[in-house]
Amino acid sequence: MILQKAYLNNKGNIRMKYKIFVDGQFGTTGLKIHEMLKDRNELEILTINEEDKKDLEIKKKFLNEADLVFLCLPDEASKESVKLITNNTTKVIDASTAHRTNPDWTYGIAELNKTQREKIKNSKRVCVPGCHASGFIMAMKPLIENNIVSKKQKIVCHSITGYSGGGKGLIDIYEAPENKDKYKSQRPYALGLSHKHLPEMKYILGLDSAPFFTPSVGNFAQGMLVMSYLIKEELEKNVSKAEVLSLYKEYYKNEEFVKIIEDDIKYLDEGFLDAMKCNNTNRIEISVYESDDYMLVISRLDNLGKGASGAAVQNMNIMLGLEEKAGLKA
């Protein structure tokens, strides 16, 4: 048994530390979570030796001793780790796509609606949203809830992400010295039009069909822009950019990690939008652009922050009853 340690909280009271285990601690997301939690005095991080990470008995011990587990694994491995948990107390946050459309799991966007934060707080099984999905869902949810975008509407979405989103394998490719001059352009991928985030985009928003979505990877490590394209004549209501911004401000009022952009001139860099300006934060920024016929909504976020590890830590804070923004930068 792993003995539980204590700490002194900010009110001078002695509290037992929460035991946290990151299953998949040696991958990109797992390493980032470890980095974000290492100085949290209310947490005790349980670590497994790299040579033991595939030993199921050792892993099972850690999974069942922890108060909360992060799963930073491929889908099938995440499902197998869940099966190894034999108690009814360990809480689980899964960063894979394995459970995002499973009704028995809670979708981990606290800002999704007025009740989602409470659902996360009371849940023992929470899934971290995909990075592309986070940007798309948080842009479209207020418009759907306010009957501006129909659930029947065909929505077009494009995303630009840093190469860290592809994990260690893609990071190694981009950062290899011999590839220094090889991958300079933005490169679209998932051109079979069946990206793994599409099911959750459709499921969480209740859309009749998934968006027409294409992602691309840029020659930068982290950062993300998710762009959702709307045709005004297809909207359920005739709305202006100003009205949409007002709606977003009301929907996300008092949300620490959501920023609605009202001044394009100050926001843009001589007319350009930098994908990396939210890096190393848990912030998502939503900006709106329009012409007479079209409207564009852009979500900017850190694919490793609000799009992955930051969202995971935010959910952990909620599930354990800790300050929601602890260890996170807005």
CA-only gyration radius of the chain, Å: 20
Question: How far is the C-alpha of 116 from the C-alpha of 110, rounded, in Å?
Answer: 5
CA 196 and chain centroid, separation: 14
Question: Do the Cβ atoms of 159 and 213 come closer than 8 Å?
Answer: yes
Question: How far is the C-alpha of 170 from the C-alpha of 161, rounded, in Å?
Answer: 12
Kindly tell me the burial class for residue 261, based on how many C-beta atoms sit within 10 Å of its own C-beta (0-12, 13-18, 19 or more).
middle
Of 72, 131, 157, 278, the active-site residue reads 131
The helix or strand, by DSSP H or E, that contains position 148, with its residue range, turns out to be none
Question: Which residue type sits at 101?
Answer: T
Place of tokens 């001078």: 12
Q: Is 157 one of the annotated active-site residues of the chain? A: no
Q: How many CB atoms lie within 10 A of CB 144?
A: 18
Question: How far is the C-alpha of 181 from the C-alpha of 132, rounded, in Å?
Answer: 27
Q: How many CB atoms lie within 10 A of CB 192?
A: 6
The helix or strand, by DSSP H or E, that contains position 137, with its residue range, turns out to be helix 131-145
Cα–Cα distances in Å, from 13 out to 6, 45, 152?
10, 21, 53
Give catalytic residues, as residue numbers. Answer: 131
